[in-house]
Chain A
Amino acid sequence: MSVELTGAEITIRCLQEEGVRCIFGYPGGAVLFIYDELFKQDKVRHILVRHEQAAVHAADGYARSSNNVGVALVTSGPGVTNAVTGIATAYMDSIPMVIISGQVPTSAIGLDAFQEVDTVGITRPCVKHNFLVKDVTELAQTIKKAFYIASTGRPGPVLVDIPKDVSQQKTKFVYPDKITMRSYNPVVKGHSRQIKKAAELILSAKRPVIYAGGGVILSDAAPQLTELVQMLNFPCTNTLMGLGGYPATDKQSLGMLGMHGTYEANMAMQYCDVLVAVGARFDDRVIGNPKHFSNENRKIIHIDIDPSSISKRVKVDVPIVGDVLDVLKELIKLLKAGKERPDQAALKEWWKQIELWRERDCLKYDRESKIIKPQMVIEKLFNITKGDAFITSDVGQHQMWAAQFYKFDKPRRWINSGGLGTMGFGMPAAMGVQLANPKGKVACITGEASIQMCIQELSTCKQYKLPLKIVNLNNRYMGMVRQWQEFFHGNRYAESYMNALPDFVKLAESYGHIGMKIERPEDVEGALKEAFKLKDQLVFMDFITDQTENVFPMVPGGKGLSEMILV
């Protein structure tokens, strides 16, 4: 007869069984028994953040950069409500995560107890699934289910709410090896007849484009995507979430597409005759106005694990529901087995057209400027890190420049909040990335507005000696808001100027880090080099950049992909 364990012990044992090595959290009344058990062991390391939002972002960064399930632990009430932004961020980008939250004792639920909120209710629309565990005998199985649901199918965050009395009650601990659920059986393999249809359509293409999204990264299918693109000699464009899925420095890469995508990528999307969408979802920032997009005739193949992503915004001709990795393997096998090849003459013409679009040089900017151009900082960062750093970002202009100018050749190197667009994501996410990759170079590209949304995490970085390199592109504006106000609101910069900024150098120093202020273009390279030489130190680089710089190209809201504003 096995010994009985408390709910708190079971929770920690489950994490150990799942191979979790690092969790992020913040203690409080409802989770004290769980923290007590954490204290008594050393297999699961706990990182104490300064705000629950950061705990979830850090777990998220951990997951994105390592393909492990990220884990966060928060208390009831405000612990959970603070975590919601992080949970919604992970949900929108389909990141596998388990959030464990404390809840008031079962006897107090519904009585407006101290630090009580309806956690399952509040988080329901932004989780893949959630559970309230009312009986300790169901705890282990529920946590097993949470990890299973979070990491399979289209991944996503799963929350397990544990009332305080459940964490105290005892039961036998049995961790199930496997879980089967009659109501949840995600498809993995694509339908072979559909894959065959896709292969036929691919071989008939004269003006093809492969459009690859975050699904390629999530299913670890970058090698297969690269093989497919290169065996076909097709052009490939990546979404913001898909950067690194195909090497950006390769000549077949058209760069990112969408609202701030390259001219060549957007034009190729608009005027292709066969479009192969791989783990992407035709969202509003990618194809702009769907009516305008549908004006051109093209056949669409759509590979996605989530059937509800297919034909949601754009009607597709060959839907393939399945894991991107599996489907790409099958597709490659099928194409290799046959003798047919796409029409090479047509392809040559298509590439000629693409080269003409490329000559438009849509990402050009003033390289002779006497004021620091943000694009230049990112290009230098790319050169100095040899393209091999993990880059996290916040949200806004700096995020778009990072996506455009840092050429990601590998997957899981670009960590950003694509779907929800969460300012404040960058630094806490970078903490998670650094903990998952202790030897990796980790830089957070941010702006003076975004960084202040989770600036308190400088303290966490000090406590755990996380040597992040913070690249603050400081233009004294919420840059993207300012850009929209300039373009669409008659230059009325309503509340977008960042007044009363702190001295970031002193601020960094007060947390025990190194601060640098860089004001001249000629000092950018030196500062970056010096920062990366300080291997064990967090360096906060405050780059004073051009206030008037805008992100180009731009597809204005409601416009079509070929209606870009160009520099």
Chain B
Amino acid sequence: MRHIISLLMENEAGALSRVAGLFSARGYNIESLSVAPTEDPTLSRMTVVTIGSDEVVEQVTKQLNKLIEVVKIIDLNEGNHIERELMLVKVRAIGSDREEVKRLVEIFRGCIIDVTDKSYTIELTGTSSKLDAFLEAVERSAVLETVRTGASGIGRGEWILKV
């Protein structure tokens, strides 16, 4: 099953490689990983999306917790949560395709952030599956380049991950 794990960790050099190294050393899957400092610059917030059985994910969280620099960790799947991912996608847009792509961007509530006479660059935010759906909807040969951030997640309502 897909789990989305949120970590608060010391914003120190090498902390990220400890997390990445743990996943590869123990053979855990990383579907995506995103990290950036928080409003408190001594802390980084990381979101890891991993796929595994309940037993494996339990081990993943326990092992992550053991890392000295990890301050707090939650498995967002244990409660209600929201997740979002940002995608930038450059598509070929010539002639009648230009209108077609624009309509599609509107349907998916994205926006076009760069335009040339041959292409659009589109910004799209949503759950990972929404971004997948957009790519499905665009003609495959029209997609020139995609870049995705990986998911970020946060608990709903009063569920807060804070030191």
A125 to B66, CA, bound (A): 13
Q: Does B17 contact A (CB under 8 A)?
A: yes
Q: Within 8 Å of chain A (Cβ to Cβ): is B14?
A: yes
A120 to B62: give the CA distance in the assembly, Å: 23
Chain B residues positioned under 8 Å from A308 (CB to CB):
59, 62-63, 65-66
Which residues of the other chain, B, contact A120 by a CB distance below 8 angstroms?
A: 14
Select one of A121, A125, A183, A312 contacting B69, CB under 8 A.
A183
> In the assembled complex, how far is the CB of residue A139 from the closest CB belonging to chain B, in whole angstroms?
16
Is residue B68 within 8 Å, beta carbon to beta carbon, of the partner chain?
yes
Q: Name the contact of B59 in the complex, choosing from A125, A182, A183, A312 (C-beta under 8 A).
A: A312
Residue with the greatest number of chain A CB neighbours at <10 A, chosen from B17, B18, B68: B68
Q: Is B70 an interface residue (CB 8 A)?
A: yes
Our pick among A125, A128, A149, A311 for the contact of B25 (Cβ within 8 Å) is A125
Task: Check: A438 CB closer than 8 A to any chain B CB.
Answer: no
Q: Which residues of B contact A181 (CB under 8 A)?
A: 68
A184 pairs with B68, CB closer than 8 A: yes
B10 on the interface (CB 8 Å rule)?
Answer: yes
Decide: B65 and A307 in contact? CB cutoff 8 A. Answer: yes
- Expressed in whole angstroms, the Cα–Cα distance for A182 and B43 within the complex equals 11
Q: Is B68 a contact of A311 with CB atoms below 8 Å?
A: no
Contacts of A132 in B (CB 8 A): 13-14
Contact A121 B62 (CB under 8 A): no
Contacts of A317 in B (CB 8 A): none
B71 CB-CB contact with A under 8 Å: yes
Chain A stretch 122-145: residues in CB contact (< 8 A) with chain B: 124-125, 128-129, 132
Interface string of A298-329 (1 = CB under 8 A from B): 00000000111001100000000000000000
| A149 contacts B59, C-beta separation under 8 Å | no
In Å, the complex CA distance between A41 and B55 comes to: 53
Interface centre among A124, A183, A312 (most CB of B within 10 A): A183
Min distance, Cβ B51 to any Cβ of chain A, angstroms: 19
The reply to whether B21 and A183 form a contact with Cβ atoms under 8 Å apart is no
A124 close to B21 (CB less than 8 A): yes
Residues of chain A whose beta carbon lies under 8 Å from any beta carbon of chain B: 120-121, 124-125, 128-129, 132, 149, 181-184, 306-308, 311-312
Q: Known A-B contacts: A132-B13, A183-B9, A307-B65. Give 17 more (CB < 8 A).
A: A120-B14, A124-B17, A124-B21, A125-B21, A132-B14, A181-B68, A182-B163, A183-B69, A183-B71, A184-B68, A306-B66, A307-B62, A308-B63, A308-B66, A311-B55, A311-B58, A312-B59
26 CB contacts below 8 A, A to B, read A120-B14, A121-B17, A124-B17, A124-B18, A124-B21, A125-B25, A128-B68, A132-B14, A149-B68, A181-B68, A182-B71, A183-B9, A183-B10, A183-B68, A183-B69, A183-B70, A183-B71, A306-B66, A307-B62, A308-B59, A308-B62, A308-B63, A308-B65, A308-B66, A311-B58, A312-B59
